[in-house]
Amino acid sequence: MTSHIDPKTLKSWLHDGGEIALLDVREHGQYGEAHLFYGIPLPFSRLEIDAPRLVPRRSVRVVAYDDGESDVALRAAERLATLGYTDVHVLQGGAPAWKAAGYVLFAGVNLPSKTFGELAEETYHTPRVSADQLAEMLARKDKVVVLDGRPVSEFHKMNIPGATCCPNGELPYRVRQLVPDTTIPIVINCAGRTRSIIGAQTLINLGLPNPVYALENGTQGWYLNDHTLEHGGTQRYAADSGNTDLRPAAKALAERFDVPTVTAKTVRQWAAETNRTLFLCDVRTPEEFAAGSLPGAQHTPGGQLMQAGDQYFGVRGARLVLIDNDGVRAPTIASWLRQMGHDASVLEGGLASGLSLAPAAASTAPELKTIDAQTLSARLAQNDVALIDLRGSMQFRAGHIPQARWSIRPRLAEDVQGETRQIVLVADDTALAAWAAASELADHAPLLFEGGMAAWRAAGLPVEATPALPADSDCIDYLFFVHDRHDGNKEAARRYLAWETGLVAQLDARERAAFRLPSAASHT
């Protein structure tokens, strides 16, 4: 039987020093509108796929919550128990009860990281330049280097003219090759504020002699001041741009923030402990990770591990052991994680340590029988199948098979209620469809359309676009206010920046105290 807890109990658990996985099991759009500060987004639609990775220790304390009106958290708790989780609880009344108890709900995503960025700027007084100031520097053809601290995929969407993509986690390893002249000013930007601040302060904390600045409000500030962004940019750091000149500085930075260096033997002992959760984090680039890593490690690119940690580890209080092959990236990233309040260490020897851990046990999805494009097309013509599209709502709007209906796992059973025809599911992720079918369509024996939309298009069959369907109110998987700021909506961009700068004021005393930034006197 699932245990229910009240908000006051949960609040005490979040700050009692023990490990806890606080899981928001609503879909992404619902989560992003209003959630608990430490809530980890784990949509019910992806529960079995992502839970083993985010919460690898099955005996850890888990609390699931939803909107308080649906039974999604209870259903998620039951599924977690089926996966072997033994200490699962549901927040009675969900997010609304948390608010009614006097606690704050936060909009947006990656809350702890974004809030930390604002606190870091407040603590370090990170130098910055405005969009107009940078535009003037570029117009005068001043010697200035603009480095974009976001991942390559985000840089490709939009960038400051002339900028080079160098994700924040790569800055300490590559900056000396990208900017060999120690007198040239460096400006770090992102799409908003956090990674501009953290990227610039990273180089300052490492003692780089160059003048270093954060671009105030990033690409959004640039756009709001009527400067033109470029799109489709490909200018990025070179694969051979790594440089270990800053290794002594990274070592000193790690020591400054009490980052432990641990041996492979110690990590093996930690992995054997049943009362603590361990994440082995390879902070290098995707290409380096793909070429080979330590057994049991997950890829956690350094900049994103700071920016979006909730995508890589879902247990508050867990041990994070960082690895690289250069002695620069892991200690630098760990110095920030320690300031964020995480138990982060660096593996001595990194890739050369010889460490080998068993990977987290994944959940094996049940198998579905499939149907091919031509057979599906023929059966649609006979109207003897009900076609349900489980892809993202925006993907469905952009193009779907005629006669398909959009649905999502929390609503799937309700959406097919009374359906007597053969149900066929469309999905990009076969595991997502299989788990949805197992829990929601057990009485229907649905088929999976083999190959998805790519197979349908390859067969030359018609595709239909419905830009207004599903209706915005039904798109519970999509967070509109985060995306609209990059789609020419200046008011959305202004609201987003106001939201970001207002995060610190919403913290309560215990949430703020959980961060470990230095005092003003200790970093001057």
pLDDT tens, residue by residue, 62-107: 999 999 999 999 999 999 999 999 999 999 999 999 999 999 999 9
Maximum distance among all Cα pairs of the chain, rounded to whole angstroms = 76
Contacts of 152 (CB under 8 A, 6+ apart): 165, 167, 236
pLDDT in tens, 125-153: 999 999 999 999 999 999 999 999 999 99
The tokens describing 180, both together, are: 């060999």
Indicate the average pLDDT of the chain.
Answer: 95
Q: Are 375 and 459 in contact (CB under 8 A)?
A: no
How do strand 298-299 and strand 278-282 relate by DSSP bridges? parallel
pLDDT in tens, 446-497: 999 999 999 999 999 999 999 999 999 999 999 987 666 556 678 878 888 8
Per-residue pLDDT at 417 exceeds 50 = yes
Q: Are 47 and 76 in contact (CB under 8 A)?
A: yes
Contacts of 115 (CB under 8 A, 6+ apart): 37, 503, 504, 507
Q: Is 364 left (phi over 0), alpha (psi -120 to 50) or beta?
A: beta
Predicted pLDDT of residue 524? 47
Q: Considering the chain, what percentage of its residues have pLDDT values greater than 70? A: 98
Per-residue pLDDT at 251 exceeds 90 = yes
Instruction: Tell me, letter by letter, the H, E, C secondary structure of 334-348.
Output: HHHHHHCCCEEEEEC
Section 318-326 average pLDDT:
98
Q: Matching CATH topology for 251-352 and 370-474?
A: yes
**In the chain, where the domains are located:** 3-109, 115-239, 251-352, 370-474
- Distance, in Å, from the CA atom of 350 to the CA atom of 296, rounded to the nearest integer, reads 13
| CATH classification for the domain delimited by 115-239, as one of 3.40.250.10, 2.30.30.100, 3.90.1010.10, 3.20.20.120 | 3.40.250.10
What fold is seen in the domain 251-352?
Answer: Oxidized Rhodanese; domain 1 (3.40.250)
Superfamily for the 370-474 domain = Rhodanese-like domain (3.40.250.10)
Architecture of domain 3-109 in CATH? 3-Layer(aba) Sandwich (3.40)
Per-residue pLDDT at 182 exceeds 80 = yes
Q: Give residue 519's pLDDT band: very low, low, confident or very high (50, 70, 90).
A: confident
